[in-house]
Chains A and B, each alone.
Chain A
Amino acid sequence: MITLRGLTKRFGPVTAVDDLTVDIAPGRVTGFLGPNGAGKSTTMRMVLGLDAPTAGRALVAGRPYRELRRPLHEVGALLDARAVHPARSGRAHLLALARSNGIPGRRVDEVLALAGLDDRAAAKPGRALSLGMAQRLGIAGALLGDPPVLMFDEPVNGLDPDGVRWIRELTGRLAAEGRTVLVSSHLMSEMEQTAGHLVVIGRGRLIADAPVGELLATGGSVRVRGPQPEGLSRLAARLTAEGAAVDGDGAGGFTVTGVTAGRVGDLAYELGVVLHELTPVTATLEQAFMELTADAVEYASGVAR
């Protein structure tokens, strides 16, 4: 369990994280979404005690990170995969981390195998690692202490399709074991497939904290098509009057949001308009995300003025 309470971080005049209050629950993969610069990495760094919050608290299992005794047993994190000494081998990098937390050396071999790094890859110095290998090494490091809480910052960056699938399965498996798994990304499509729950932030503020399905529903629309242009425009006018948003009422049909397909059908019947298609369309996560963050950006710039 990760608990954020009023978490705020300001760098001079810039507010990177703004009064964030969220619980990241165990047993599911929580996607941490936001455009670049939304404050995802800063939030994770505050959870790890690397950055001190300007206000508020970030707790792991109810305690601030800096109070954890052997933190690798409590939290595993992949932050910046590139952060390996250029001349130090991946194995030695992990070995140093393991020793600092009293983890036996054989566990290093275990996590290297788990991460799909063979002996040759593990012996390479940091400068010779590809981004994909560095990501796998970082994930191996996160798994060292077999922790109940895991945080991965953009883990699929630089991975080939095989690696992306591996991350997807790994995060799913870790969550199924009852762990807290927080995965940040700006790739909505990736989150759609891996996460069960989403925390969306924009400009450091919480935009949404909901199950994936619920977020998808908010962006849903209804596609309407029919043979009578005149009838369709009457239907469109009626829908607009009811507060729905009608988009692209060209000759053959339109798309409407903010209303259910059933209501559109009822209205068409009432107005005597012939319909050839009446399809509820589930939004992609990407659309839902765009809609959510667009509001946040408008709101934020409105405040700035």
Chain B
Amino acid sequence: MSAAVRTVAAPAVAARRGEALAGAVAAEWTRLVSIRTTWWTLLAGVLLMAATSAQLAIYAQNSNTSADPTDDRGIVTAGSVAIDALDLTQYAVLALGLLAITTEFTSGTIRSTLTATPSRGTVLAAKAVVTGAVTFAYGLLLGLIGVAVAVPVLGPWGRTPVAATVGDVLAVAAYLALVGVLALGLGAVLRSAVLTLIVLLAVLMIVPLSLQEPDITVLTRIADGFPGVAGRHFMTGDGDPYPAVVGLLVLAGWAAAALAAGRWALRRRDA
């Protein structure tokens, strides 16, 4: 009996996987929007972005010693202010990514989730799709807010070239979507929100910062392999030590590795 059931053609298997994923994505979307924490987190990120980019723009303006802006125009682009403001603002996005999975473990809902969608890979893929899409769209919004706040504060010392600014906003969105997915994958492995946040803090900030000794090139190169630093090279496009696209690929590699580890952990462990 079971042998007869198992002989299903490959296209049918693919179709049913697609159907299961579509259902799981719809379920994840419902889960995300039905808790107030999501909306508070989004609001917190908006406020953080507005406050941080205003502050950074004021710094940029203050540190400009030229008395006549017409002599020395375009010292700072508004887009770069938005990018710098991410050091702080990204934690709202990280929270969104990791809470998508850790709350399932703390509240025990992971069992009903896995009962409804037994494929661990499908569950995590659905969470990654929703987290990635939401944080990308949210990243666009944050990027625009950062630019909109920076422009008037920078005043004559700011520069807003259209193409470059659009590029900066898109890069911010891509960066946030990837670190959001990284947080999700790590959360699936570690299961605890606090632990996940600590590891993220270490990987994104503490470890690379302590490695970036100006005189020791080897350590700086190692730091360049960390996701936060790679994301920065991608967004600023500084070309040192690698081009922007390599930065993007390194960051994407981290996110993909975290997801793969999360899938492995979900499959291997009892729920």
| Interface positions of A (Cβ within 8 A of B) | 45, 48-52, 59, 62-63, 65-72, 75, 77, 79-80, 82-89, 92-93, 95-97, 99-102, 126, 141
CB distance from B24 to the nearest CB of A (A): 5
Question: Does B217 sit within 8 A of A, measured CB to CB?
Answer: no
Question: Does B5 sit within 8 A of A, measured CB to CB?
Answer: yes
Contact B109 A102 (CB under 8 A): no
Q: A49-B114, A100-B24 are in contact. List 8 more A-B contacts (CB 8 A).
A: A49-B115, A50-B115, A70-B23, A83-B111, A96-B28, A96-B31, A96-B34, A97-B27
Contact A63 B116 (CB under 8 A): no
Contact A88 B118 (CB under 8 A): no
Contact A85 B116 (CB under 8 A): no
- Chain B contact patch, size range: 20 to 34
Contact A71 B118 (CB under 8 A): yes
Contact A66 B119 (CB under 8 A): yes
Contact A102 B19 (CB under 8 A): yes
Give complex CA distance A88, B111 in Å. 16
What residue of chain A has the Cβ atom nearest to residue B267's Cβ? A52
CB distance from A112 to the nearest CB of B (A): 15
Dominant secondary structure at the B interface? helix
Question: Does B190 sit within 8 A of A, measured CB to CB?
Answer: no
| Interface positions of B (Cβ within 8 A of A) | 1-2, 5-6, 16, 19-20, 23-24, 26-28, 30-31, 34-37, 103, 107-109, 111-119, 270-271
What residue of chain A has the Cβ atom nearest to residue B33's Cβ? A92
Contact A88 B27 (CB under 8 A): no
CB distance from B53 to the nearest CB of A (A): 30
Could you count the A-B residue pairs with CB atoms below 8 Å apart for me: how many are there? 103
Give complex CA distance A72, B5 in Å. 18
Cross-chain pairs A/B with CB under 8 angstroms, 11 sampled: A45-B270, A50-B115, A52-B270, A62-B1, A67-B6, A69-B19, A83-B108, A88-B31, A97-B27, A97-B112, A99-B26
Residues A97 and B116 in contact in the complex (CB < 8 Å), given A50-B271, A84-B107, A87-B35: yes
What residue of chain A has the Cβ atom nearest to residue B120's Cβ? A66
CB distance from A184 to the nearest CB of B (A): 15
Contacts of B34 in A (CB 8 A): 88-89, 92-93, 95-96
Contact B23 A102 (CB under 8 A): yes
Give complex CA distance A275, B174 in Å. 92
Give complex CA distance A75, B2 in Å. 17
Name the contact of A69 in the complex, choosing from B16, B30, B115 (C-beta under 8 A).
B16
Contacts of A52 in B (CB 8 A): 270
Contact B30 A96 (CB under 8 A): yes
What residue of chain B has the Cβ atom nearest to residue A97's Cβ? B116
Give complex CA distance A63, B4 in Å. 11
What residue of chain B has the Cβ atom nearest to residue A127's Cβ? B107
Contact B20 A85 (CB under 8 A): no
Contacts of A126 in B (CB 8 A): 107
CB distance from A125 to the nearest CB of B (A): 9
Contact A63 B35 (CB under 8 A): no
Contacts of B5 in A (CB 8 A): 62-63, 67
Contact A63 B37 (CB under 8 A): no
Give complex CA distance A87, B32 in Å. 11
Contacts of B270 in A (CB 8 A): 45, 50-52
Give complex CA distance A114, B112 in Å. 20
